[in-house]
Structure 1
Amino acid sequence: MFDFFRSSPPRCVFSGPRVYLRPPKWADQKEWLKVRGESKAFLEPWEPAWSRDALTAAAFRRRVHRVEQEWRSGIGYGFFIFDGKTSSLVGGITLANVRHGVVESANIGYWVGQAYARQGYMSESLQITLDFAFRKLNLHRVEAACLIDNEASRQLLLKSGFQLEGRARKFLCINGRWQDHDTFGILRTDDRPAVPVIERQ
């Protein structure tokens, strides 16, 4: 396994033409709170119910601790997404539930600030993360799920090379309710948009 997987926090940056991805740092707290706070009404319908302290320093610390622990244990890899020109935080993306052995798969989830939605940031970020999953982790398959009425996410996944595979009843508890989700998958051998990725540490 690569040394940066065990560092705390992990030290790596993956850059595409418009964005770069890296694990969260403590110094990101102020900007994370700002983007999440300004996007609260936009994000809440698509996410697990926010805790009462969701927009506090304590919540940010919990998130960073969890990301660091998951990187070290190899079960998850969380990234923040930044605009390549301004270095502004625009969202986050995570490979979770990473399994090896006969499965070699993971789940992917993401969020983007309201001010940056539908501008191509997440499309590129998905390809960078898939490159990481298939090239660095040597995974065979990545899965995703979205609420059945989340047309923006559905189109994003299809455009990114994922295939619609089915519908899972009451799959995740989103915004306080168990809700049906459409499920998607992509294999390492599937066609997907080509995005050049530069890695640095």
Structure 2
Amino acid sequence: MILLSTSRLILSPPLRSEAGELLDYYVRNRVHLKPWEPTKTDDFFTAIAMEKRIHDMTCKMEAQQSLHLILRDRATKTIIGECGFTHIMRGPFQACHLGFSLDHASEGKGLMHEGLRCAIDFVFSRLGLHRIMANYRPENRRSHALLQRLGFEQEGRAASYLMIDGEWRDHVLSSLINPVERRQEERPGA
């Protein structure tokens, strides 16, 4: 089992036994996450739905199509966020999409930056991916600042990209290239 850690966080794939804790995370952040995520019906906020979600994530991880991690506060062991590297594509692309969310009470402390740095290092070094793509709504200043701080570069803007909170929303498209591979590409004679 994958277990990553930082000075303040423990990152691990969600287990079925953690469905209640993950559900609690989503319930307490329902309003906070609503403007940034696809609409979730009331059915999403049930133990059965969360167990199914964890089962689906586990199946996709076993098929090497994604990596899902929950972020726990090292001191309190509370789930404070999650991140997912989804739609892993192999072959000549070697890329994935990154999504993440953080508990409203944990914002502004650098925790997501700390967790994503650790997870991104794992994705590049252990999964061998070349590119991580992350897209965000232009008004989401926190995500913009976080991704910029992590080294993501803006690649464009997509009109009506995703149905978020009941409406088609524009998104900024960004990506991060594996820094080891980027350095190799930039070497003379490479």
Judge same fold: TM > 0.5, yes or no. yes
1:87 corresponds, among 77, 85, 102, to: 77
Q: CA deviation at 1:44?
A: 0.7
**Would you say the 8 A contact 2:16–2:55 is kept in 1?**
no
Equivalents in 1 of 2:101, 2:115: separation in Å? 11
Tell me if 1:31 matches 2:8. Answer: no
Tell me if 1:19 matches 2:4. Answer: no
Secondary structure in structure 2 of the residue aligned to 1:154? helix
- Structure with greater proportional helix content: 2
Equivalents in 1 of 2:56, 2:122: separation in Å? 20
Which runs of 5 or more residues in structure 1 are unaligned? 1-10, 191-201
Q: Choose 137-146 or 112-121, whichever is displaced more.
A: 112-121
Tell me if 1:139 matches 2:129. Answer: yes
Q: CA deviation at 1:76?
A: 0.7
1:113 corresponds, among 96, 100, 103, to: 103
Residue of structure 1 in register with 2:92 after alignment: 102
Question: One-letter code of the match for 1:50?
Answer: K
Equivalents in 1 of 2:147, 2:83: separation in Å? 13
Structure 1 stretches of 4+ with a deviation exceeding 4 A read none
Greater relative contact order structure (CA < 8 Å, 6+ sep) = 1
Counterparts in 2 of 1:1-201, with a 5 A limit? 11-189=1-179
Q: CA deviation at 1:27?
A: 2.3
Q: CA deviation at 1:52?
A: 2.0
Q: CA deviation at 1:87?
A: 1.2
Q: CA deviation at 1:53?
A: 1.1
Percentage of matched positions with identical amino acids? 29
Which runs of 5 or more residues in structure 2 are unaligned? 181-190
Q: CA deviation at 1:26?
A: 2.0
Equivalents in 2 of 1:124, 1:77: separation in Å? 17
Aligned length: 181
Secondary structure in structure 2 of the residue aligned to 1:138? coil
Secondary structure in structure 2 of the residue aligned to 1:53? helix
Equivalents in 2 of 1:44, 1:146: separation in Å? 14
TM-score by length of 1: 0.86
Q: CA deviation at 1:118?
A: 2.1
Q: What is the RMSD of the two structures over their aligned residues, measured on CA atoms?
A: 1.4
